């Protein structure tokens, strides 16, 4: 490799180092912000999914299916179909909760690094 090296003054070198450090700090700040935002978004999704489950269970228990789907008798979803959807939603909730747990662990590591550094 033919790398060209340029001579820089001490002031220029320090300025470049400060810029590099600031860029690293901004990246860390952005990651913290992104994690916080993802936690909030996941919590909203979990609440929405929980409402869907409540609605579907109410339809099943009352035997008044209101969700429509072409291809079924009376264009209404059968109970087993709704139960399958509930099972899938519960898996999505579990996935979001796992994601939140990992994000919180990363946040705790960041806090420890800030205390040490």
The pLDDT of residue 92: 98
The pLDDT of residue 108: 86
- Out of 23-37, 57-71, 90-104, the most confident range is 90-104
Residues recorded for the chain? 117
**For residue range 65-115, what is the model confidence (pLDDT) as tens digits?**
888 887 777 788 889 999 999 999 999 999 999 999 999 998 888 777 767
Report the alpha-carbon distance of residue 89 to residue 69 in Å, rounded: 18
The pLDDT of residue 95: 98
């Amino acid at each position: 490799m033919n790398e060209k090296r340029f001579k820089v003054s001490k002031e220029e070198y320090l300025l470049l180092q400060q810029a590099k450090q600031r860029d690293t700090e901004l990246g860390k700040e952005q990651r913290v912000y992104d994690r916080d935002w993802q936690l909030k978004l996941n919590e909203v999704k979990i609440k929405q999914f929980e409402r869907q489950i409540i609605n579907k269970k109410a339809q099943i228990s009352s035997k008044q299916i209101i969700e429509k789907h072409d291809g079924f008798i009376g264009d209404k979803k059968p109970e087993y179909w709704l139960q399958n959807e509930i099972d899938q939603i519960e898996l999505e909730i579990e996935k979001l909760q796992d994601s939140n747990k990992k994000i919180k662990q990363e946040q705790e590591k960041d806090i420890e690094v800030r205390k040490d550094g």
